[in-house]
Amino acid sequence: LAKPFREEDLLKKIAIWLPESKEIAMPGSLISFSYLKQQTGNNIGFIKEMIHLFLVHSPGNIEDLAMALDRQDFDATVKITHTLRNMIAFFGLQHVIGSELHQMEQLARTKENIEEIKRLVTKVDRVCRQAIAELELASKEDTYPDHA
């Protein structure tokens, strides 16, 4: 990946190497740093950068997704959903909303069932909000446990 690079391109490249995780977070928590720790050799600087990217971009991605659905812009819906799928994997969220994002992406590709996509967006939004709160707390406390 040559510099300068776009965040989306970086996420796509990194996502290629993401395994399908069967990891389940402890009750009450969603976030796990185990994948990032394993892949970075516990590089806290990189982990903090990934947290920053998630905190900065996921709220806007969710908002953009809702607006794309309101416009029935299925191409944008596919793109944004795919970006979110890449982002969530870094924090172990694929076991919580991975299937919903996959389903959203597939429905948008076929331009079908916008109401079902909107229902799924509601869950994704709720989970992302909780993940943001957990990531903000982890950043504030400067602790990055395998399970929050």
Q: Write down the residue that tokens 């944008």 correspond to.
A: 76
Q: Residue 137 and residue 32: Cα distance in Å, rounded?
A: 13
Question: Do 19 and 91 meet the contact criterion of CB atoms below 8 Å apart?
Answer: no
Nearest-5° angle of CA 54, CA 45, CA 125? Answer: 10
Q: Write down the residue that tokens 């943001």 correspond to.
A: 132
pLDDT tens, the chain, 148 aa long: 566 666 656 655 555 555 444 333 434 678 889 888 888 898 999 999 999 999 999 999 999 999 999 999 999 999 999 999 999 999 999 989 999 999 999 999 999 899 999 999 999 999 999 999 999 998 888 888 776 4
Is the pTM here over 0.85, yes or no? no
